[in-house]
Structure 1
Amino acid sequence: MRYVLWIIKLLLFLIVLSFAVKNTDPVTVRYYLGGEWQAPLILVMLIAFCAGAVIGLMTGLGQLFRQRRQIGGLKRELRSKQPQHTDPVPPAGGA
């Protein structure tokens, strides 16, 4: 199974690499206030992809921290409601 995953990763890498090699033409990115920036297309696409990934991770992290805080509170509540250890009482009637 490990070899299959490595082959899939290698194929994916080769596809992305060939895509990057094919898209090296310069493009001009124009900003709203008149600024311009010229860079290879693959660089612009990579920056856009990374920015989207960072924004997605940041929104997911907020929910993750909220859930961890809730889990901690529930664990504390569970510990406070658990009965304390006492010596077992023998059943009535003797055995």
Structure 2
Amino acid sequence: MKFISRALALVLFILFFGFALKNDQIVTLQYFWGYAQSAPLAILLLAFFVTGAVLGILAMVPIVFHHRKDISKHKKTIAEIEAERAAEQRASTQAPQIDSVRNI
């Protein structure tokens, strides 16, 4: 399985590298307020892809922390339930206590 994933990664790298070599034209991006940027097309595509990936990861951070908090709360609840169950099981397996009887 590791071999297949590495082979696939190599094929994708070769494809993207070939794409970058074929698209080496300089393009100009026009931003607001007269700002412009010129760079090779492959570099700009890579920059925008990386920016989108980083923004996507940052958007997931609050959700991940919320889920981690929920998981720790559930683990604590499970530990409490298991402790109660173990105490009940110990109580049910103990021999009944003999009542102390006094002779008068």
Query: What range is the shorter-chain TM-score in?
Result: 0.7 to 0.9
Residues 8-87 of structure 1 mapped to structure 2, 5 A cutoff? 8-81=8-81, 82-83=83-84, 85=87, 86=90
Asked if residue 90 in structure 1 is aligned to residue 89 in structure 2, the reply is no
Deviation at 1:57, TM superposition (A): 1.0
- Distance between the aligned counterparts of 1:27 and 1:7, measured in 2? 33
Deviation at 1:79, TM superposition (A): 3.0
Of Structure 1 and Structure 2, the greater helix share is in: 2
Deviation track 1:20-59 (CA, whole Å, cap 9, x = no partner) reads 1011111111111111111111111011100110111112
TM score, norm. by length of structure 2: 0.74
- Distance between the aligned counterparts of 1:78 and 1:2, measured in 2? 36
Task: State how many pairs are aligned.
Answer: 92
Q: Give the direction of change, closer, same or farther, for the CA distance of 1:26–1:68 in structure 2 (3 Å limit).
A: same
- Provide structure 1 residue ranges, at least 5 long, that are not aligned to the other structure: none
For the pair shown, the structure with the greater C-alpha radius of gyration is 2
- Distance between the aligned counterparts of 2:58 and 2:28, measured in 1? 29
Over aligned residue pairs, what C-alpha RMSD do you find? 2.3
Give 3-state SS (helix, strand or coil) of 2:51's partner: helix
- Provide structure 2 residue ranges, at least 5 long, that are not aligned to the other structure: 97-104
Q: Give the direction of change, closer, same or farther, for the CA distance of 1:5–1:76 in structure 2 (3 Å limit).
A: closer
